[in-house]
Structure 1
Amino acid sequence: MSATRSTSAAVKVSRSAVLVALAAMVATPLFSRGGPERRALAYVVVGGFFLAALAAHWLVHHWRAVAASGVVMTVSLAIEVIGSRSGVPFGDYDYGAALQ
């Protein structure tokens, strides 16, 4: 794929992902708190903005952006799981009813 086509594709992916994430954000208040619909929409919002950022970074860094994103996702998920189960490194916490 040529550089121009790659750039055009990355821009389209980034814009589309942002639009999907924004639509999911608008739809979120239409569903009850804690319901499966809101949970699904939360994943769509986070995933959409992640994909938009990854596509935008692809324009500059190509495969390094993909590798860095994989490392960041893995480390942040590991810290979240460790922190919510053991209290290290952020102390004991749990998600209250407002966030579930």
Structure 2
Amino acid sequence: MPKAIWNGAVLAESDRCIVVEGNQYFPPDAINKQYFQESNTHTSCPWKGLASYYSIEVDGQVNKDAAWYYPQAKDRAKNIEGYIAFWKGVKVEA
């Protein structure tokens, strides 16, 4: 079962992930919300839409914008709307 780990903490775990462009997207109910902080960062993908970000905080250490999601995905990416993916040193084990 895929899980996302950073700084020794399990950030998310689910057997309902969706893989897009090599990234595991975790369903919103699979994340451990205590580690997530809303970020003001946004980026745009031509086919997925406008991405929003979370910073991750574990034991006082912050990994800025280490997770992203599409709150209102474009039609071709509706299957991952609200799902969360990781980067910036977050280890995703499959």
TM-score by length of 2: 0.23
Greater Rg, structure 1 or structure 2?
1
TM-score by length of 1: 0.22
> Which structure carries more helix by proportion?
1
